[in-house]
Amino acid sequence: MRNRVSKVAQIGSRLALWLAVLVAPLAAAGCGYHVAGHASQLPSEWKDIAVPAFKNDTTRYRIEQRFTQAVIREFITRTKYRVVQDPQSADAVLHGEVLSIETSPVLFEATTGQVTMMLVTVHTKVELIDNKTEKPIYKNDDMVFRDEYQISTDLNSFFEEQDPALERMSRDLASHLVSNVLENF
């Protein structure tokens, strides 16, 4: 009797293993997930993209230059496209506009009440236009980007943190923007 139970257990475990081997690939294939960033949704014949300076609707000095440079850098490092200055010679033109930048305190130092972390929210307007058809390939009238940035409370090591924070923010925003344009979100 004991041998018989042992053989049934072996057959059951082999059957379970085979079912797992057969069902796992089917479940993974049908789950609907895919890896983002694998394929560009932009026309394959494009070679050049122009990125003119973003328009600045804020009072923040030269923020449009930071964002424009970051977007250009991101296109150069992540795509096969050449970034050109002349919109007339490009296959497409990416127009951008910084609509607003808002900062609000998130965390405070308990003993002094000083702000230790700020939330920065940027609203931009972006449009990628095909030069041949003059139709938008990608358009987002209110692309919102939010991120938190720490502020030093140590007076001995304090330095102007706005520039490094704006630089990080422009790189992060450019990364999100280029991903959205490439994947047509």
Task: Give pLDDT, residue 169.
Answer: 84
Mean pLDDT of the chain: 78
Cα 166–Cα 77–Cα 53 angle in degrees, nearest 5: 50
The region that residue 107 occupies, defined by phi over 0 for left and psi between -120 and 50 for alpha, beta otherwise, is beta
Residue among 105, 171, 176 at smallest CA distance from 144: 176
Task: Give pLDDT, residue 165.
Answer: 73
Task: Give pLDDT, residue 61.
Answer: 85
Beta bridge partners of 103: 120
* Residue of 83 and 113 predicted with greater confidence: 83
Report the distance separating Cα 10 and Cα 70, nearest Å: 61
Q: Which residue bears the tokens 């925003």? A: 173
- pLDDT of 25 strictly over 50: no
- Residues 105-117: what's their mean pLDDT? 86
Report the distance separating Cα 182 and Cα 184, nearest Å: 6
* Residue of 102 and 23 predicted with greater confidence: 102
Task: Give pLDDT, residue 71.
Answer: 95
7: its two tokens: 């053989």
Report the distance separating Cα 175 and Cα 185, nearest Å: 14
The pLDDT tens digits of the residues spanning 45-98 come to 899 999 999 999 999 888 899 999 999 999 999 998 999 989 999 999 999 999
- pLDDT category, 6, cuts 50, 70, 90? low
Could you tell me if 117 and 150 are in contact, meaning their C-beta atoms sit under 8 angstroms apart? yes
Domains of the chain, residue spans: 1-33, 47-183
Report the distance separating Cα 7 and Cα 4, nearest Å: 5
- pLDDT of 32 strictly over 80: no
- pLDDT of 134 strictly over 80: yes
Could you tell me if 174 and 73 are in contact, meaning their C-beta atoms sit under 8 angstroms apart? yes
pTM: 0.70
102: its two tokens: 């808002």
* Fold of domain 47-183: Double Stranded RNA Binding Domain (3.30.160)
